[in-house]
Structures are given as structure tokens and as C-alpha cells.
Copies of this chain bind each other. A is one copy, B any other.
Amino acid sequence: METVERLIRSTQELLWERGYVGTSPKAIQREAGAGQGSMYHHFAGKAELAKVAIERSAEELRAAAAEQLAGDGTAGERIGAYLSRERDVLKGCRVGRLTADPEVVADPELRKPLAETFAWLRERIAEVVAEGKQNGEYPETLDPERIAATIAAVLQGGYVLARAADSTEPFDLAVNGLIDLLEAM
């Protein structure tokens, strides 16, 4: 793999584990097996490299979610597949995690991929919910945008509860509770 690619992937991994403030250029270089000069040759600095890495992680998240939410099952099945897919729960969400970073949220360039990713995700889930309404799976009164935000929030919040408990249990409880509520509709 080329140096640039290794630098980007190492940055993605470190941002996921340690966030922007907790990730140093030196650590990125170590992870990537690249030297100081090599990194600064390809990227203007930490911020630019982080921008590229965050955009990459955002794309990957969207691709994964799109796959789970597509298919020809019922709305409930597709949402269930999305909620129940294999996840590295205790590591948390590589995109959502960055909202805790003040430097990411304060920089429009760095925050933009976060905003776009969750806007897209909520919109995509809302479409599936709307389809479920059309075929009678869900009642007419259900608001797709609200339910979509609730679904996205349960996942993000599930990660928080799991990391606090150092256990996947609260995440599983939260997801299953949401599924119970959706199935009762």
C-alpha cells in the first residue's frame, strides 16, 4: 500500500480511538510507518490529513448503512437488519465519536462530513419508514423524520451507554427496546 493511503488509514484509526485532540502527527507516522518529512510532503498538516480521513470514514459509514437499508425485505426487516448488523460496539461510532471533539465541531471543514453523514442517514431511514407506512406496516400517524432521528439516536446513544458500562449489554437492550416499540406500531 502506498504511503498516502497508509497515512489516511492510520489517521482514521487513531481518530476513532483517540479523537482529534488525542491524535498527534507523530502517532500517525508511527502507525503508518512513515517519516515526519513524508507526512508533511503529502499533507499540509494534521488538520488537512484529518479532513481527508474523516471524509473517508463518513463515506464508509454511508456505504455500510446504505447496504443494510437496501434490499427487498419489509421496512421492519430492513431497519432490523440495520440495527442488528455486526458492530464493534465498545469502539463506538467512528463518525459520531468526533462530535465530542471541540476542535472538530468548531472547524466547519471538519464538521461538514459529520453533518452530511447524519443528515443523509436520517433521510435514508425516513424513506424506509415512509415505505413501511405506504404498505401498511406502520400507521398513517407515524412521522418518518422523527422516527428516523430516534433510530439514529438509539445507535449513537447505545455506544455511549456501552462504553460507560464497558459492556455491550446496554447497547443491546436499547436496540431491542427500540425494536419492541417499532413492532408494536
A interface with B by C-beta (< 8 Å): 17-19, 21-22, 92-93, 95-97, 99-103, 105, 111, 114-115, 117-119, 122, 139, 141-143, 145-161, 163-166, 170-171, 173-178, 180-182, 184-185
**Tally of this chain's copies:** 2
Contact residues in B for A181 (Cβ distance below 8 Å) = 147, 150, 181-182, 184-185
A161 touches B173 (CB 8 A): no
Contact residues in B for A164 (Cβ distance below 8 Å) = 95-96, 99, 111, 114-115, 117-118
Q: Min CB distance, A159 to chain B, in Å?
A: 8
A105 to B97, CA, bound (A): 14
Most central of A114, A139, A141, A170 by chain B CB within 10 Å: A170
A103 to B145, CA, bound (A): 36
Extra inter-chain contacts (16) besides given A143-B176, A181-B182, CB under 8 Å: A21-B22, A22-B22, A96-B160, A99-B159, A100-B101, A115-B164, A115-B165, A117-B164, A141-B180, A145-B173, A149-B158, A152-B174, A153-B156, A153-B160, A153-B170, A184-B184
A21 to B148, CA, bound (A): 33
Q: Min CB distance, A51 to chain B, in Å?
A: 15
A105 to B89, CA, bound (A): 14
| Partner pick for A146 among B103, B146, B147, B177, CB 8 A cutoff | B177
